[in-house]
Chain A
Amino acid sequence: MKKKQLVVVGSGPAGLSAAVQAAEYGVEVMLLDEHSRPGGQLFKQIHKFFGSHSHYAGMRGPDIGRLLLERAQSRGVCISLETTVWGIFQDRVLGLVSGDRTDRIQADKIILATGATENALRFPGWTLPGVMGAGAVQTMVNLHRVLPGKRFLMVGSGNVGLIVSYHLLQAGGHVVKLVEALPRISGWGVHASKLARCGVPIEVSKTVKRVCGRDRVEYAELVSVDAEWNEIPGTKERIEVDVVCVAVGLNPLSELAWIAGCGHKYIPELGGWVPRHDESLQTLVPGIYVAGDVTGIDEASTAMEEGRIAGISAAETLGCISGGAADAVRDKAYTQLAEFHQSPWGIRLEAAQRKLRAGEQDGA
């Protein structure tokens, strides 16, 4: 059976950063991804990123993706695409499948950087062709250059809903309306302003009641809701759309962590079930680390910092870097993370993550 020092599962910003960090200290890294292209969601995020210079602020996602990829390749990271890890067994043995070929690899260390998946929203008509995740729409439009329809309803005003709506406008789609069930927009105001100045109506305390059509989306019925999510009578509104984009949050893709025997905790602020981990991002299973959205839904910038932490921690336990030097890298990454989490939402997120990590330190 093949043996590798470090196997990183997932080549998004967290996985790429982890691979680059570990390879920098001489670790032999194998990076796996089930998709045919690396970069995770980066290549779909065609807008300019926030943050500071070290967070690649002002750069667009695809350019950041290319930069990370170049760095990984130049450091000898072996990247295997269209390779699905379907299981993790005793002694960190991974089961791989690629096309019709299967394989097993034994890794000294594993970093799971498997990201997140979109939440679903159930309403009558939710299965009709034309009801899609906002991320799915973004994939079709920015990666495959195909518009899935002409008239779009966006459900959800978090950053994903706001950003994808803007991407739709850039692609020539007509965003008929964006609705948000909460009484306020949950994403950044600047993202909403980009839409508002284009005439996209953004309506809060409103949600989709049902979607209708013979065998595809033809129209949606919206209703206003009160503070307790009750429908306000007499507020039904019909809009003619052919695509309903659902942007109601993400949850960590922690299946491999479950399979590997990592313990999990349900933490709403982090998006759902999160693998338990400590300050070095090691899970309850020695030698298995986690980084990126799988540790809690956040952004690409924070995923990159976590990738660095997991990468350096794996390198440390492989004896490729001293504890002191690894601490310095981790401290710097945590400082950057804290800086990034200064906003009202970020503070809550940071608090939940610190509590989780500290819990593991105490063996709680």
Chain B
Amino acid sequence: MALETGGYLSEAGAAKLPGVPSRNRMERGACAVIECAQAIPCNPCVTACPEQAISIGIPLTRLPVLAEDACTGCGLCVAICPGLAIFNIELNYDEKHSRISLPYEFYPLPAVDDPVRVLGRNGEKLCSSRILKVRTAKQFDHTAVVSFLVPKHLAMAARNIRPNRANDNE
């Protein structure tokens, strides 16, 4: 399994998780995508959701389950996950693009309109994009939520950004 030997989920593996919404739900509007795949004793995502759309129960090691119809896509859960495993995706941002929001904990924080490389779960470059939004909040505790657009077919692959730098040669 890619997670245990390579350190990252495959797109197909992620799609099966109880925290990942159905395609149907994603077509209808922004939604949380919780890519939590192991029995970690952890549940801050449960209390982060104002709609109680995430449940874990007892024991704590159960995988988070997303009640996709209750999820409003507000994105408050993205910053709280200690594993940085929660994303917020608006599949149909416009005709051609999906909007991805992800947790970001590096310095410097990118600014709106900054050009970035979009990376997949394995760090592979998928495409280029520009920063749409950078959301910070005291309750996010130094985890920023960064948003950008990708071509729709990359919505379930894009999971990181790398800001372009002057002397980058990669």
Q: Taking the complex as formed, is B169 at the interface, i.e. its CB lies under 8 A from any CB of chain A? A: no
CB proximity to A under 8 Å, residues B70-89: 80-85
Question: In the complex the two chains form, is A344's CB within 8 Å of B39's CB?
Answer: yes
A344 vs B40: C-alpha distance when bound (angstroms):
9
A58 vs B59: C-alpha distance when bound (angstroms):
18
Contact with B along A190-220 (1 / 0, CB 8 A): 1111111111101010000000000000000
Residues from chain A with a CB closer than 8 A to the CB of B9 are 189, 193
Question: In the complex the two chains form, is A48's CB within 8 Å of B123's CB?
Answer: no
Total interface residues on A, CB under 8 Å, equals 42
A301 vs B83: C-alpha distance when bound (angstroms):
16
**Interface hub of A52, A63, A191 (most chain B Cβ within 10 A):** A52
| B49 to A: closest C-beta gap in Å | 13
Question: In the complex the two chains form, is B36's CB within 8 Å of A190's CB?
Answer: yes
**Residue in A closest to B38 when the chains form the complex, CB atoms:** A189
Question: In the complex the two chains form, is B120's CB within 8 Å of A197's CB?
Answer: yes
Q: How many A-B residue pairs have CB under 8 A?
A: 128
A58 vs B39: C-alpha distance when bound (angstroms):
17
| A66 to B: closest C-beta gap in Å | 13
Question: In the complex the two chains form, is A193's CB within 8 Å of B82's CB?
Answer: no
Q: Taking the complex as formed, is A332 at the interface, i.e. its CB lies under 8 A from any CB of chain B? A: no
Question: In the complex the two chains form, is B4's CB within 8 Å of A47's CB?
Answer: no
CB proximity to A under 8 Å, residues B99-133: 105-107, 119-124
Question: In the complex the two chains form, is B60's CB within 8 Å of A58's CB?
Answer: no
A204 vs B3: C-alpha distance when bound (angstroms):
12
**Residue in A closest to B105 when the chains form the complex, CB atoms:** A170
Residues from chain B with a CB closer than 8 A to the CB of A157 are 7
Q: Taking the complex as formed, is A49 at the interface, i.e. its CB lies under 8 A from any CB of chain B? A: yes
| A114 to B: closest C-beta gap in Å | 25
Residues from chain B with a CB closer than 8 A to the CB of A193 are 3, 7-9, 35, 83-85, 121
- Stretch of A132-140, A180-188, A261-269, A314-322 at the chain-chain interface: A180-188
Interface residues on B, range: 35 or more
Q: Taking the complex as formed, is A169 at the interface, i.e. its CB lies under 8 A from any CB of chain B? A: yes
Question: In the complex the two chains form, is A169's CB within 8 Å of B41's CB?
Answer: no
Question: In the complex the two chains form, is A170's CB within 8 Å of B85's CB?
Answer: no
Q: Taking the complex as formed, is A340 at the interface, i.e. its CB lies under 8 A from any CB of chain B? A: yes
Assuming A191-B83, A196-B8, A197-B160, is B141 touching A52 (CB within 8 A)? no
A57 vs B8: C-alpha distance when bound (angstroms):
23
| B134 to A: closest C-beta gap in Å | 17
Question: In the complex the two chains form, is A196's CB within 8 Å of B106's CB?
Answer: no
| A332 to B: closest C-beta gap in Å | 15
| A5 to B: closest C-beta gap in Å | 35
Question: In the complex the two chains form, is A190's CB within 8 Å of B38's CB?
Answer: yes
Assuming A185-B7, A342-B60, is B106 touching A170 (CB within 8 A)? yes
**Residue in A closest to B48 when the chains form the complex, CB atoms:** A58
Question: In the complex the two chains form, is A58's CB within 8 Å of B80's CB?
Answer: yes
A197 vs B123: C-alpha distance when bound (angstroms):
4
Residues from chain B with a CB closer than 8 A to the CB of A197 are 8, 119-123, 159-160
Question: In the complex the two chains form, is B160's CB within 8 Å of A343's CB?
Answer: no
A290 vs B64: C-alpha distance when bound (angstroms):
35
Interface residues of A (CB under 8 A from B): 47-53, 55, 57-60, 63, 157, 169-170, 172, 183-185, 188-200, 202, 204, 339-344, 346
Q: Give 23 CB contacts A-B under 8 Å.
A: A48-B80, A48-B141, A51-B42, A51-B60, A52-B41, A52-B42, A57-B42, A57-B44, A58-B80, A185-B5, A188-B83, A189-B9, A190-B82, A190-B84, A191-B83, A192-B3, A193-B8, A193-B83, A196-B123, A197-B123, A199-B124, A342-B41, A343-B41
